Chains A and B, each alone.
Chain A
Amino acid sequence: MRKIEIDPITRLEGHGKIDIFLDDNGEVADCFFIVPELRGFEAFCVGRPVEDMPRITSRICGVCSEAHHIAAAKACDDIYHVEIPPTARKLRELMYNAFFVGDHTTHFYILGGPDFVMGPEAPPAERNILGMIHKLGVDTGKVVIGARAAAHAIVKILGGKTIHMVTSIPGGVTKGLTEEERLEVVEHAKQLLEFSKFTLQILDDVVLTNQEYLDLILSDTYTHRFHSMGTVDENGHVNFYDGLVRVVDTEGAEIVKYHPRDYLDHVAEHVEPWSYLKFPFLKAKGWTGFTDGVDSGVYRASPLSRLNAATGMATPLAQEQYERYFKTLTGDPTGNTPVHQTLATHWARVVELVYAAERTMELALDEEITNPDIRTIPTETPTEGIGSVEAPRGTLTHHYVTDERGVLQKVNLIVGTTNNHASISMSIKKAAQGLIHKGVDVTEGVLNKIEMAFRAYDPCFACATHSLPGQMPIVVRIRDVDGTVLSETTRD
């Protein structure tokens, strides 16, 4: 038995390592994706005042702090049994969709994009955002920087800060929108809309017109049949801010549609002794181990699964792109036939980016958006509450129990990336099995292709483990059974 270690994996948010074990024939006998960190927000939030949770839990992740801020605020509303004013809800949703554009941009251009723009086996020194700017031109780089700035400007206007915003509290938001500010938001939203079209063009030019990439996306090595989870509105359309959680099976049939408050009836978490991160599964199927298919309990919660779980998009250009996406990948533009190619998640992310930009503009033009009625003072005794949103990386649930003063007694979090822990593990293993065989030279490029299996999920192990340690380079050591290093390959 030989072991290949990839420690740590890179171009993602957070820390993970991969241990690949080879049998005597040089084939992959088993493969483990290991998350070696834990920070434990649940434990240290006990004793804190619940109204501060949107400001505390945003520090779980500085990349998607908005998702934790809003999920926490919704849990606070629920704790105090308060309905927030319609304008407060719209302001939160406006901020949230602007954030989504920025976050999906970060992944598409900085984390995931280099694999396609530069090529999966390009030298690591070029396979990054700086290499991309050199290849696509400084002007393109400035368009991307400008779009992120526009998204962050909207977040700052509404949230008070661009990172770790502060304005959502139990019962609403502390900051409204003046007409002058609204006009500013509209200008930024225009830029985001243009940018979403620019990104569609990049996707076309770089990926969809490249047969080699299409073959890679459609290959069995990157395909798994998992169930799909996503939040939908009353029309069954994708919604990031609010709705019911819908889960469809591998064939597209609905397994369940539930209110986020009932999450404990539908999702549970399995523990393995070799990882600090748990493995959520569907209770309807049970924990079936690392298996896929219709009887498995493993599901995905990602841009790919959100499009599978929904029946369409709520805005026109996004709907057009939704139909094109499904027609190309399944032949069925309705979206009733799920997509199972993991690498198609990049494309699904762009469809979502278009929706987020369109929704940002819709809300900026909403005539109620400058209404000053943005707070409801809670009057009921706080008890227990659950708040949920679609984070960029999957369904995010915050669950709090307080005493009668609103001081936290219990906190439970199931975050976006964690939902995908089992599916990510299996995607990595299948890629390893498809790419490593006897006689294959395990180059840095081959290892990067294994990493592409998780990178499609845009995993955030800062969120998942509530910790974000540093990243290290890949070092691959092939050892014999006694642990003697037979060969070593380093990424450079």
Chain B
Amino acid sequence: MSTKPKLALYWAASCGGCEIAVLDIKEKILDVDAFFDIVFWPVAVDFKVKDVEAMADGEIDLCLFNGAVRTSDNKYMAELLRRKSKILVAFGSCACEGCIPALSNTTTKKATMDWAFADSPSTVNPDRIMPQTRTETPVGVLELPEFWETVCSLDQVTDVDYFVPGCPPQAHQIWAVLETVIDIMENNKPLPPKGTILGAGEKTCCDECPRTREEKTIKGFVRIHEVIPDPDKCLLDQGIVCMGPATRSGCGGLCVSVGVPCRGCYGPAPNSKDQGTKMISALASVIDSDDPEEIDRILDGIVDPVGTFYRFSMAHATLGRVAVDAASGSSESEGGS
């Protein structure tokens, strides 16, 4: 019986990018394999949920959980791994903030189903047959799970110890986190306070941006395809909406370094819970006008404020999800904030 610390990695409703990001630590993955017993990692190893269920509570030393929570299966796995793990980490933007999947909270389940299965132009479905949770066939009953109206982050369904932000977390940050954990475990060092954000910085994305900032005075917004921005100047100074001021540092300023504005995948800036309101206050201080009408005109240049300011953090947005039409029969009962 191995005495190595036990590591679990799991994906809920995610794109698989976090899994690839873990593999991107390259040959260091062999070091991880050497230090830990990998007891659960569905993408690469055939261990079973049943194996996890059979473990004692707290038997797993470290669990990195990626993906948002949208089905009862996701929730079951979140709760199971919480119970079995000493340390549960929300790994990546989906688990931390909802990420792109949580943009689904700007629409409804009914709208999603109607378009996908009846109204989209390639679909041939004159009888509007919708997927059913139970379908009788001549040989037997076929079953489908029901999926939730609302996309949740991990901490909205269970207790989380630490958070590793990013879409995906950058490989050097992943290794830094694992290296720290290995050091703590090997040398019996104290753990960081619960709730700590690991694998990221304590400033904003602007702090890592190689571009030069001046006093911002925005007279109007432009979109990225409409201009060839100056390669050295702050994108927001040039009127391109960049989420840098509202976003935690940690990625190394990747997008802004290749001429593309930040969209906020490392989550809210330190000391800020709501990324969107933080961005709005950042913009308010840089718009160069006192005339309400002109301010309106300037802000009109931002074509999708909600979907831009909360691009990665919709699950935690204080504004909540869009209203679900009661007549649609959709319900809000499955969980979520």
Q: When chains A and B are docked, how far (Å) is the Cα of A160 from the Cα of B210?
A: 14
Determine whether the beta carbon of A30 is less than 8 Å from that of B129. no
B230 to chain A, nearest CB (A): 13
The one of A63, A141, A146, A167 in contact with B20, judged by C-beta atoms closer than 8 angstroms, is A63
Determine whether the beta carbon of A175 is less than 8 Å from that of B258. yes
Determine whether the beta carbon of A275 is less than 8 Å from that of B144. yes
Determine whether the beta carbon of A40 is less than 8 Å from that of B104. yes
Determine whether the beta carbon of A36 is less than 8 Å from that of B46. no
Tell yes or no: B147 within 8 A of A by CB.
yes
Determine whether the beta carbon of B259 is less than 8 Å from that of A468. no
Q: Which of B69-77, B177-185, B199-207 contacts A (4 or more CB under 8 A)?
A: B69-77
Tell yes or no: B30 within 8 A of A by CB.
yes
Determine whether the beta carbon of A470 is less than 8 Å from that of B258. no
Interface 1/0 per residue, B40-56 and A, CB below 8 Å: 00111111111100000
Contacts of B254 in A (CB 8 A): 160-161, 166
Tell yes or no: A127 within 8 A of B by CB.
yes
Q: When chains A and B are docked, how far (Å) is the Cα of A29 from the Cα of B18?
A: 40
Determine whether the beta carbon of B259 is less than 8 Å from that of A167. yes
Interface 1/0 per residue, B93-109 and A, CB below 8 Å: 00000011101101100
Determine whether the beta carbon of A468 is less than 8 Å from that of B11. yes
Determine whether the beta carbon of A128 is less than 8 Å from that of B44. yes
Contacts of A414 in B (CB 8 A): 122
Interface 1/0 per residue, A255-278 and B, CB below 8 Å: 000000001100111111111101
Tell yes or no: B285 within 8 A of A by CB.
no
B residues 1-41 near A (Cβ < 8 Å) are: 10-21, 23-24, 26-27, 29-30, 33
Determine whether the beta carbon of B225 is less than 8 Å from that of A470. no
The one of B46, B70, B171, B304 in contact with A48, judged by C-beta atoms closer than 8 angstroms, is B304
Determine whether the beta carbon of A44 is less than 8 Å from that of B107. yes
> Which has the most chain B C-beta neighbours within 10 Å: A32, A125, A471?
A471
Contacts of A237 in B (CB 8 A): none
Contacts of B167 in A (CB 8 A): 59, 164
Determine whether the beta carbon of B16 is less than 8 Å from that of A462. yes
Tell yes or no: B282 within 8 A of A by CB.
no
Determine whether the beta carbon of A377 is less than 8 Å from that of B117. no
Given A1-B139, A30-B137, A42-B120: A473 in contact with B48 (beta carbons within 8 A):
yes
Tell yes or no: B223 within 8 A of A by CB.
yes
Contacts of B168 in A (CB 8 A): 62, 163-164
Determine whether the beta carbon of A63 is less than 8 Å from that of B17. yes
Q: When chains A and B are docked, how far (Å) is the Cα of A163 from the Cα of B21?
A: 7
Given A406-B303, A468-B16, A469-B67: A19 in contact with B142 (beta carbons within 8 A):
yes
The one of A13, A45, A272, A405 in contact with B303, judged by C-beta atoms closer than 8 angstroms, is A405
Given A59-B99, A268-B124: A39 in contact with B13 (beta carbons within 8 A):
yes
Interface 1/0 per residue, A13-42 and B, CB below 8 Å: 110000101000000011010101111101
Determine whether the beta carbon of B142 is less than 8 Å from that of A167. no
Tell yes or no: B263 within 8 A of A by CB.
yes
B240 to chain A, nearest CB (A): 11
The one of A129, A152, A375 in contact with B228, judged by C-beta atoms closer than 8 angstroms, is A375
Q: When chains A and B are docked, how far (Å) is the Cα of A142 from the Cα of B167?
A: 26
Tell yes or no: A178 within 8 A of B by CB.
no
Tell yes or no: B226 within 8 A of A by CB.
yes
B residues 136-182 near A (Cβ < 8 Å) are: 137-140, 142, 144-145, 147, 167-168, 171
Q: When chains A and B are docked, how far (Å) is the Cα of A164 from the Cα of B15?
A: 10
Contacts of A127 in B (CB 8 A): 46
B residues 251-286 near A (Cβ < 8 Å) are: 254-255, 257-260, 263, 265
Q: Which of A50-58, A217-225, A344-352 contacts B (4 or more CB under 8 A)?
A: A50-58
Given A29-B139, A271-B125: A142 in contact with B27 (beta carbons within 8 A):
yes
B11 to chain A, nearest CB (A): 5
Contacts of B118 in A (CB 8 A): 271
> Which has the most chain A C-beta neighbours within 10 Å: B112, B118, B260?
B260
Contacts of B77 in A (CB 8 A): 470
Chain B residue with Cβ nearest A125: B46
B99 to chain A, nearest CB (A): 7
Tell yes or no: A492 within 8 A of B by CB.
yes
Given A38-B112, A145-B29, A274-B137: A43 in contact with B132 (beta carbons within 8 A):
no
A residues 310-345 near B (Cβ < 8 Å) are: none
Contacts of A392 in B (CB 8 A): none
Determine whether the beta carbon of B73 is less than 8 Å from that of A40. no
Q: When chains A and B are docked, how far (Å) is the Cα of A42 from the Cα of B44?
A: 30
A residues 346-399 near B (Cβ < 8 Å) are: 375, 377-378, 399
Determine whether the beta carbon of B46 is less than 8 Å from that of A174. no
Q: When chains A and B are docked, how far (Å) is the Cα of A170 from the Cα of B227?
A: 11
Determine whether the beta carbon of A63 is less than 8 Å from that of B16. yes
Determine whether the beta carbon of B17 is less than 8 Å from that of A65. yes
Determine whether the beta carbon of A468 is less than 8 Å from that of B46. no
Determine whether the beta carbon of B307 is less than 8 Å from that of A48. yes
Tell yes or no: B191 within 8 A of A by CB.
no
Chain A residue with Cβ nearest B14: A468
Tell yes or no: B135 within 8 A of A by CB.
yes
Tell yes or no: B116 within 8 A of A by CB.
yes
Q: When chains A and B are docked, how far (Å) is the Cα of A473 from the Cα of B48?
A: 5
Tell yes or no: A104 within 8 A of B by CB.
no
Tell yes or no: A422 within 8 A of B by CB.
no
Given A56-B100, A412-B120: A470 in contact with B17 (beta carbons within 8 A):
no
Q: When chains A and B are docked, how far (Å) is the Cα of A34 from the Cα of B33?
A: 34
Contacts of A40 in B (CB 8 A): 104, 107, 112-113, 115-116
Tell yes or no: A472 within 8 A of B by CB.
yes
Contacts of A462 in B (CB 8 A): 14-16
The one of A30, A47, A76, A273 in contact with B106, judged by C-beta atoms closer than 8 angstroms, is A47
Determine whether the beta carbon of A490 is less than 8 Å from that of B106. no
Contacts of A56 in B (CB 8 A): 100, 103, 311
Tell yes or no: B121 within 8 A of A by CB.
yes
A8 to chain B, nearest CB (A): 9
Contacts of B132 in A (CB 8 A): 273-274
A421 to chain B, nearest CB (A): 13
Q: When chains A and B are docked, how far (Å) is the Cα of A36 from the Cα of B135?
A: 13
Given A59-B101, A128-B44, A128-B45: A3 in contact with B117 (beta carbons within 8 A):
no
A147 to chain B, nearest CB (A): 11
> Can you list 26 A-B contacts (CB < 8 A)?
A30-B137, A34-B142, A34-B144, A36-B145, A37-B147, A39-B70, A40-B107, A42-B115, A43-B104, A49-B223, A49-B303, A59-B17, A63-B17, A65-B15, A128-B44, A138-B30, A160-B254, A160-B260, A163-B168, A164-B17, A264-B121, A467-B70, A468-B67, A469-B71, A473-B48, A473-B51
Supply 7 further A-B pairs (C-beta < 8 A) apart from A166-B260, A271-B124: A38-B147, A125-B46, A149-B26, A166-B258, A264-B121, A268-B123, A274-B131
Report A's interface with B, CB cutoff 8 A: 1, 3, 10-11, 13-14, 19, 21, 29-30, 32, 34, 36-40, 42-49, 51-52, 55-56, 59-63, 65, 76, 80, 110, 124-125, 127-130, 138, 141-142, 145-146, 148-149, 152, 159-164, 166-167, 169-171, 174-175, 263-264, 267-276, 278, 280, 287, 375, 377-378, 399, 405-407, 410, 412, 414, 462, 467-473, 475, 490-492
